[in-house]
C-alpha cells in the first residue's frame, strides 16, 4: 500500500445497512493492511477546530517560565505541560523536538474512577484554552467510540463491545508544538519512529508533509489528510488484543527541509485509552493454526505503565 485510504463516518452512522457495511469493510481492510485511515464525517466542526488552534497557539506563546509552572512533578506527564525535548521514542536517547500539553478524562459519574486519574490542570492566563480543550476532547472521544464500534463488527464482536471499556477511559488529548529548528538537530527528529500505546489515535493537524507511515515493505509513505479529515491509526493495545490482525503501524514526524526550519508545526493527537482494568488478552477469534497466540495476558493499566517507563516519562 502506497497511500492512506479515506473513509467517511457518515456511512457508518447512516440508516442504510449497505453504507454501514461498506464503512466496516473499508476501515477493517485498511487497518489490516496499513493501520491508518483518513476519516471524514467526524464530530469536530470547523469553528471548534479554529478556536482550538487559536488557543493552543496562545498557550505555547506564553513565556517559558509560565508554561513550566504548569509542569506537574510525579505524575509521569499525564496532565498539564511537558517541556521541550523531555519525551523520547522507545529505544531512543535523543529527546523529540517538541513540547506539549495533556488534557485527560473528565469523569462526571464515577467518583472512584475520578480518584484514579490526576486532575486536569487549569491555565489561569487563558480560560478559553481549558474550555475548548474539554469540548474537543469530548467530540474526539465520541468519534472514537463509533470507529471502535465499526471495528468490533469487523472482528465479529458485538457492536458495543468496546463501549464499557472506553467509558471514563484513560484517554489523553495532546496538543503538540514543534518549535522552529534553530540549530542542526543531529540525531533528533520532531517525533522519532514509534508505535502508539493505546487502542486508537485520532490525529488533527496532519495537513502538509511531516507525518510518515511505514508500510509492510518497510517503505516510508507520506500521510497527508485533507483539512476536514482526521488521521486515525491502530495502537499497540488494539494490535495486541487482536493478535496483530489489526496492525499498529510505526510512524514518525520528520524534520522539515532546511528552508522551513523557521516555522512551527502544530498537531493534536487524541489517544483513546480504555479503563485500566480492561484485559488485553488476545481475542479467541483472532487465534488460529496460521496465527497462534503471540502475547501474554496483560491489563491495559499494566501495559501502559510498562510503556511510560520505556518512554522515560515514569520511573
| Cα–Cα distance measured from residue 44 to residue 18, given in angstroms and rounded to the nearest whole number | 25
> Which domains can be identified in the chain, with CATH numbers?
6-310 (2.60.120.330)
Instruction: Write the CA distances from 187 to 43, 87, 243, integer angstroms.
Output: 38, 14, 33
For 273, the grid coordinates are 485509552
Give per-residue pLDDT as tens, 220-251: 988 888 889 999 999 999 999 999 999 898 88
Residue 93's pLDDT is: 52
Q: Using the Cα atoms of residue 42, residue 43, residue 46 and residue 48 in order, give the sign of their dihedral.
A: negative
For 225, the grid coordinates are 489528510
> CA 165 from chain center: how many Å?
17
Is the pTM higher than 0.85? The answer reads yes
Instruction: Write the CA distances from 293 to 200, 240, 302, integer angstroms.
Output: 21, 10, 19
C-beta atoms surrounding 63 within 10 Å: 9
For 68, the grid coordinates are 513550566
DSSP secondary structure of 116-142? HSPPPPP-SS-HHHHHHHHHHHHHHHH
Residue 188's pLDDT is: 61
Q: Of 218 and 279, which is predicted with more confidence?
A: 279
| Cα–Cα distance measured from residue 59 to residue 61, given in angstroms and rounded to the nearest whole number | 5
Instruction: Write the CA distances from 194 to 59, 89, 104, 189, 236, integer angstroms.
Output: 27, 6, 22, 12, 10
> pLDDT-based confidence at 189, cuts 50/70/90?
low
| Cα–Cα distance measured from residue 173 to residue 176, given in angstroms and rounded to the nearest whole number | 10
Instruction: Please give the backbone phi and psi of residue 38, each rounded to the nearest 5 degrees, phi first.
Output: -100, 130
Q: Specify which of 26-40, 195-209, 270-284 reaches the highest per-range mean pLDDT.
A: 270-284
Q: What ranges in the chain are assigned the alpha helix state H?
A: 9-13, 17-33, 46-60, 64-68, 111-116, 127-154, 163-166, 236-241, 300-310
| Cα–Cα distance measured from residue 169 to residue 276, given in angstroms and rounded to the nearest whole number | 8
| Cα–Cα distance measured from residue 141 to residue 166, given in angstroms and rounded to the nearest whole number | 9
> pLDDT-based confidence at 91, cuts 50/70/90?
low
What is the SS3 assignment for 217? coil
Amino acid at each position: 500500500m502506497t497511500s492512506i485510504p479515506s473513509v467517511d463516518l457518515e456511512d457508518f452512522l447512516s440508516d442504510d445497512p449497505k453504507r454501514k457495511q461498506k464503512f466496516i469493510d473499508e476501515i477493517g481492510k485498511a487497518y489490516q493492511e496499513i493501520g491508518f485511515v483518513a476519516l471524514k464525517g467526524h464530530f469536530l466542526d470547523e469553528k471548534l477546530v479554529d478556536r482550538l488552534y487559536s488557543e493552543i497557539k496562545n498557550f505555547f506563546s506564553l513565556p517559558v517560565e509560565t508554561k513550566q509552572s504548569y509542569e506537574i512533578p510525579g505524575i509521569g506527564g499525564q496532565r498539564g505541560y511537558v517541556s521541550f525535548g523531555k519525551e523520547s521514542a522507545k529505544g531512543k536517547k535523543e529527546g523529540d523536538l517538541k513540547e506539549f500539553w495533556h488534557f485527560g478524562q473528565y469523569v462526571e459519574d464515577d467518583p472512584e474512577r475520578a480518584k484514579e486519574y490526576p486532575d486536569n490542570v487549569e491555565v489561569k492566563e487563558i480560560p478559553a484554552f481549558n474550555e475548548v480543550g474539554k469540548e474537543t476532547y469530548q467530540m474526539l472521544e465520541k468519534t472514537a467510540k463509533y470507529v471502535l464500534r465499526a471495528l468490533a463488527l469487523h472482528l465479529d464482536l458485538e457492536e458495543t463491545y468496546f463501549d464499557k471499556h472506553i467509558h471514563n477511559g484513560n484517554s489523553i488529548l495532546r496538543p503538540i508544538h514543534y518549535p522552529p529548528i534553530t540549530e542542526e538537530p543531529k540525531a533528533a527528529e520532531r517525533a522519532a519512529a514509534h508505535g502508539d500505546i493505546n487502542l486508537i489515535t485520532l490525529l488533527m493537524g496532519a495537513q502538509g508533509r511531516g507525518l510518515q507511515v511505514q508500510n509492510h515493505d518497510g517503505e516510508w509513505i507520506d500521510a497527508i489528510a485533507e483539512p476536514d479529515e482526521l488521521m486515525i491509526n491502530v495502537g499497540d493495545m488494539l494490535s495486541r488484543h487482536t493478535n496483530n490482525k489489526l496492525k499498529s503501524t510505526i510512524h514518525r514526524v520528520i524534520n522539515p527541509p532546511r528552508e522551513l526550519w523557521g516555522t512551527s508545526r502544530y498537531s493534536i493527537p487524541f489517544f483513546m485509552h480504555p479503563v485500566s482494568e480492561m484485559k488485553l488478552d488476545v481475542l479467541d477469534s483472532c487465534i488460529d493454526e496460521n496465527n497462534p497466540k503471540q502475547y501474554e495476558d496483560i491489563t491495559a493499566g499494566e501495559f501502559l505503565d510498562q510503556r511510560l517507563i520505556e518512554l522515560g516519562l515514569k520511573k
